[in-house]
Chains A and B, each alone.
Chain A
């Protein structure tokens, strides 16, 4: 079955450091891939997405590239800020199912220190 594996956290960085959060997936067919962010006490919100191989999603300085050959969708940011402290979830959606269900990774908590 489909699955998503994320690197375990927490990840603690100093402000302006480079961020990478690894995400790999297993899927039949051609899934869409997503990164969602959850700030304390809130629901998840979409950060970026990619719908086909070699697509790059980007938003708020974050980027991730859909790599079919390595089944990966790693999240990167060149210079993190304290306000980026949150939990980040990688997810996939099997477009062929017709239900648009997601499978989520376990989440990676990021803490950025001033």
Chain B
């Protein structure tokens, strides 16, 4: 019953450093998503994927990159971290198959601070 697993849970970066946020799901879901959650702002979509090898930009993609080489994994890469990227990052997945069609399942989040 792992669902969506994100690592790490917490991270502090210095300005200009890079890191990869890991996300893996064991539900064989086609769709995966990365969001950031800023205080009082709800969730904003960064990138999404509709299947292995296919990714596309969401609402706020600048400063991030993704890849989807397998169905299970959807890592998010931060290059040249900036204080504006301080946020909580959530990974989610969903399926197009009933009965859970279009329900997104979320990981526990990664809290990132860039100082």
Chain A positions near chain B (C-beta within 8 angstroms):
32, 34, 41-46, 49, 89, 93, 95, 98-102, 104-107
Contact = CB atoms under 8 A, between A and B. Distances in A.
Contact of B50 (A34, A99, A106): A99
Contact of A106 (B4, B40, B48): B40
A43 B106 contact: yes
Contacts of A106: 40-42
Contacts of A34: 103
A58 B41 CA distance: 26
B45 interface: yes
Contacts of A93: 102
Nearest to A106: B42
Contacts of A100: 31, 94, 96, 102, 104
Contact of A32 (B31, B50, B90, B102): B102
A71 B107 CA distance: 30
A45 B90 CA distance: 12
Contact of A43 (B41, B42, B50, B109): B109
Interface in B78-108: 90, 92, 94, 96, 102-104, 106-108
Interface string B2-38: 0010000000000000000000000000010100000
B106 A45 contact: yes
Closest 9 interchain pairs by CB?
Answer: A43-B106, A106-B42, A104-B43, A104-B42, A44-B106, A100-B102, A43-B108, A43-B107, A107-B42
